[in-house]
Every structure is written in structure tokens, then in C-alpha cells.
């Protein structure tokens, strides 16, 4: 295995666009994908029918949580009893995932290091589908044959900040740590800190960065460092809490299921909310270091609270102040369909901005953003995940400041 690369989690990946027969159960009762020769490079070519445990996921941009179901794929040679070249198929059962699939959706079959399979179906044309394609280096997918990636240990498959979030969207927990700072964090925070305090601490561990000269690089470096430090501290605290167990008060042998579920949910919710707040915290410092005047979470019409207002809330509420000199960037670490919320947050500003760390937003959505006069802003290093035509429309953090 190669720590820091996709090969740490996957042996190989195959992907294609679903055909009508594969997606529509009214068109076929076979429930099968054709396991081509290149797919069998990492799945094998067993003599007997082989049932492989698989986790199925269906992903869309509309729902932040995927449809998930555990089942299996069965790999077998349908010509075993015939004197002809072998032909392997992958049988799949009816699941909530298969029932949601449509022709043209993205199908990804990934073999994990534990031998199990991850079967991902992503809605055709969705941003999350594009992100999965980018993550695994897939392009020009066909409807008939699988495109296959194995090895997964070149620089193309190095796990970085954006790819880590895509992996976690498909249920792969990426282990990152920086134990050098663990004792210091435990003494400083004792398991408790505000997001603003933790963001400041993360920045303090990095030297010789210039927010004025390289705002795009600095922002991503700050975010990467905070994420690693937070996961280091979180892993320690979770392990400590789990070691205490979840026994009920009435009996040591009783298991406090509700307590465990509550703890698990709090961990997930903290992860989701913290990244967006961390991004705002680092942007606030970056704006200040660049000499910009702003108000954070000012109140505008209908009690809306845009993340930032430039030059400030006083100017915004002054009817005599030229609205063309007002700027409002919404800040969302990930967008999905939530980007439309930004449109209603400052009525005096017609041309709004949205700063995000989202990779590979679909062309359909960026076209809609442009039509609604919402300009997308993201760090320069993320441009590569967008199409050439999208890149000409994007602006980076340096240009925005």
C-alpha cells in the first residue's frame, strides 16, 4: 500500500455509463454487467461462481446523503459449460440503488483493499458524478465497455484536501494525522475550543506564508493544515470516548444505544459544520491581511445574513451609497443545490459572488449560476477539475481580493 494515495484504499476501479438494459429492470431480467477482460485484472477470473460482498450507493446533487444498501455482486463465467472463450458477467440483485438508476448514469465498481466492492451509481450530469470521475482519473466513459484504472499510486491519485472530501462522501474514511501537535492541542483545548480559536491555532503552526502575494495558495494551505490537525485531535478524543464504553446506568452489561447514536451523530454534524466555519475564519484573516474592509454575517433584508459584505453593513444600509460599490461573497465549502441560497441574501447587490472549495461543479449548474449573475470564486489549484470553458469564467481568490 502507498499511504497518501488512492492505492491505500482501492486495488482497482472500473467505470462506464449505464445502458438502458442495465438500468431499466423492465427492459431486462438479467441484472448483469459485462465483466470485461480489463475489469477482471483486479476482480479475477474464478472457475466457480463467486459472490463478492458489495456496498451500493446512489448519489445525486439534490440529496446530501446517498442511498446506501449492502448486498453483493456475483462474478461468473456464463460460458463455463460451452467450448467457447470465457465470458464473465457480474450479477447484481434488486436494491434501492438499482431501482433509482437510469440510462446514462455513471457506474463505478471499485475493489477495496479488504476485498469488498464499492458500487457507485451517480446521476447523469450531476456534479457529484463529475467529482467521482475526477477522483479516479476517468474520462470519455463509454456505454458499453468499462474504463479501468489500477495501481492508483501515481501523483494523479494522491489524496489531497478536495479528494479527501469526495472520498468521505462515498463512505471512505481517510486517515490523516500530525501527532507532533497532539500534546500541545490537548493542553490548549482540553477537547474544547471554538472554531475560530482552532483556525487561529492552525495558522500559527505555519510560517513564511504571504496572504498578500499568494492568497490562493495560502488559503488552501491553511485549510489543509486545520483539517489534518482537527482530525488528529478528533481521532484521539473519539478513541478515548469509545474506550469508556456506552453502558446504561441501570446495568453495567446494558448498552446505551441511544448514547452511542447521539455521540456518533454529534461527530458527523461537527465535521460538516466545522469546515464551512473554518473557511470563513481563514478568509476573514486573508481579507484583513489584504487591507479590505468588510462586515462578517451582517443582517440584510428579511433577516438574511450574508457571510461577508464589502465595504460593510453601514454602507449597505445607507440608501445614498452606490450599490455598484457593494460586494457580497457567499462562502460554502461545498455547494450542491445550496448555492441558490446566496441569491436572496443581499437585495441591493445584483451581481453576487460565491466562494467555494467544491471541485467539478457540473456545466449545467455553472451555466445557471452565470445566468443568475452569481460569479463562482475558488482557489486556483482547483481550476484543473473544471472544463476548459468553465475555467475561462472562474475567478480565483487573488482576483477577487
Q: How far is it, in rounded angstroms, from Cα 109 to Cα 120?
A: 6
Q: Per the domain annotation, does 40 fall within a domain?
A: yes
What pLDDT, in 10s, does the model give residues 132-152? 999 998 876 666 688 888 888
> What is residue 260's predicted lDDT score, i.e. its pLDDT?
63
Residue 249 domain flag: yes
Range of 255's domain?
179-290
Whether 352 and 285 share a structural domain: no
Residues 35 and 156 in one domain: yes
CATH number for the domain spanning 367: value is 3.40.91.80
Please identify which of the residues 181, 316, 383, 386 carries the catalytic annotation: 316
Q: Are residues 33 and 152 in the same domain?
A: yes
Number of domains in the chain: 3
Cell triple for 277: 466555519
Do 159 and 190 fall into the same domain? no
Residues 17 and 166 in one domain: yes
Q: Which 3 state secondary structure label does DSSP give 160?
A: coil
Q: Does 271 share its domain with 363?
A: no
- State whether 129 and 199 are in the same domain: no
Quote the percentage of the chain above a pLDDT of 70. 89
317 domain residue, yes or no = yes
Q: Evaluate if residue 21 carries a pLDDT over 90.
A: no
Show the DSSP H helices in 190-307 as ranges.
195-204, 215-244, 257-289
**How far is the CA of 116 from the CAs of 43, 72, 285, 321, 349, in angstroms?**
10, 9, 44, 61, 51
pLDDT in tens, 71-111: 999 999 987 767 677 888 999 999 999 999 999 999 999 99
Structural domain ending residue among the three candidates 116, 135, 170 = 170
**215 and 144, same structural domain?**
no
pLDDT tier at 160 (50, 70, 90 boundaries)?
confident
Residue 1, domain member (yes or no): no
> pLDDT per residue over 172-194, tens digit each?
988 777 789 999 999 998 767 78
Residue of 255 and 111 predicted with greater confidence: 111
Taking only the tens place, the pLDDT of each residue in 259-302 is 666 656 666 666 667 888 999 999 999 999 999 999 999 999 99
Are 82 and 161 in the same domain? yes
pLDDT reported for residue 199: 96
Please check whether residue 203 lies inside any domain of the structure.
yes
* pTM, full prediction: 0.84
Residues 65 and 43 in one domain: yes
Query: Looking at the structure, do residues 19 and 154 belong to the same domain, yes or no?
Result: yes
| Higher per-residue pLDDT: 240 or 390 | 390
Residue 150 resides in a domain: yes
DSSP state of 10: E
Q: Is 316 a catalytic residue?
A: yes
Q: CATH no. for residue 120? A: 2.40.330.10
Residue 322 lies in a domain: yes
Task: Look over the chain and give the mean of its residue pLDDT values, rounded to a whole number.
Answer: 88
Structural domain includes residue 139? yes
Q: How confident is the model at residue 31 (pLDDT cuts 50, 70, 90)?
A: confident
Q: CB-side exposure of 58: number of CA atoms within 13 Å? A: 17
Question: Are 142 and 220 members of one domain?
Answer: no
CA distance 138 to 6: 14
Amino acid at each position: 500500500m502507498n499511504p497518501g494515495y488512492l492505492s491505500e484504499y482501492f486495488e482497482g476501479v472500473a467505470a462506464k455509463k449505464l445502458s438502458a438494459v442495465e438500468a431499466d429492470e423492465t427492459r431486462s431480467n438479467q441484472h448483469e454487467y459485462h465483466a470485461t477482460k480489463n475489469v477482471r485484472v483486479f476482480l479475477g477470473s474464478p472457475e466457480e461462481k463467486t459472490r463478492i460482498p458489495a456496498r451500493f450507493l446512489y448519489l445525486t446533487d439534490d440529496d446530501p446523503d446517498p442511498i446506501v444498501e449492502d448486498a453483493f455482486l456475483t462474478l461468473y463465467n456464463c460460458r463455463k459449460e460451452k467450448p467457447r472463450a470465457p465470458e464473465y458477467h457480474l450479477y447484481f440483485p434488486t436494491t434501492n440503488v438499482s431501482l433509482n438508476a437510469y440510462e446514462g448514469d455513471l457506474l463505478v465498481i471499485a475493489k477495496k483493499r479488504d476485498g469488498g466492492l464499492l458500487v457507485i451509481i451517480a446521476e447523469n450530469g450531476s456534479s457529484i458524478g463529475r467529482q467521482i470521475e475526477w477522483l479516479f482519473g476517468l474520462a470519455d466513459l463509454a456505454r458499453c465497455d468499462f474504463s479501468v484504472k489500477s495501481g492508483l499510486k501515481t501523483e494523479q491519485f494522491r489524496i489531497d484536501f478536495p479528494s479527501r472530501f469526495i472520498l468521505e462522501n462515498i463512505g471512505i474514511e481517510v486517515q490523516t494525522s500530525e501527532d507532533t501537535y497532539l500534546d500541545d492541542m490537548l493542553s490548549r483545548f482540553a477537547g474544547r475550543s471554538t472554531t475560530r480559536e482552532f483556525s487561529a491555532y492552525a495558522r500559527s503552526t505555519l510560517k513564511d506564508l504571504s496572504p498578500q502575494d499568494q492568497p490562493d495558495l495560502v488559503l488552501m494551505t491553511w485549510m489543509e493544515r486545520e483539517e489534518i490537525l482537527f482530525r488528529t485531535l478528533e481521532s484521539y478524543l473519539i478513541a478515548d470516548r469509545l474506550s469508556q464504553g456506552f453502558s446504561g446506568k441501570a446495568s453495567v452489561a446494558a448498552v446505551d444505544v441511544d448514547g452511542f447514536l447521539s455521540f456518533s451523530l454529534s461527530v458527523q454534524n461537527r465535521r460538516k459544520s466545522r469546515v464551512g466555519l473554518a473557511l470563513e475564519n481563514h478568509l476573514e484573516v486573508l481579507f484583513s491581511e489584504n487591507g479590505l474592509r468588510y462586515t462578517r454575517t451582517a443582517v440584510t433584508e428579511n433577516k438574511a445574513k450574508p457571510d461577508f459584505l464589502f465595504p460593510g453593513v453601514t454602507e449597505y444600509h445607507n440608501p445614498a451609497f452606490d450599490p455598484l460599490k457593494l460586494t457580497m461573497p457567499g462562502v460554502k465549502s461545498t455547494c450542491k443545490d445550496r448555492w441558490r441560497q446566496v441569491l436572496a441574501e443581499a437585495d441591493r447587490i445584483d451581481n453576487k459572488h460565491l466562494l467555494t472549495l467544491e471541485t467539478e461543479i457540473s456545466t449545467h449548474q455553472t451555466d445557471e449560476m452565470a445566468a443568475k449573475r452569481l460569479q463562482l470564486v475558488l482557489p486556483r489549484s482547483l481550476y484543473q477539475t473544471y472544463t476548459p470553458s468553465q475555467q475561462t469564467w472562474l475567478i480565483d481568490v487573488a482576483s477577487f481580493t
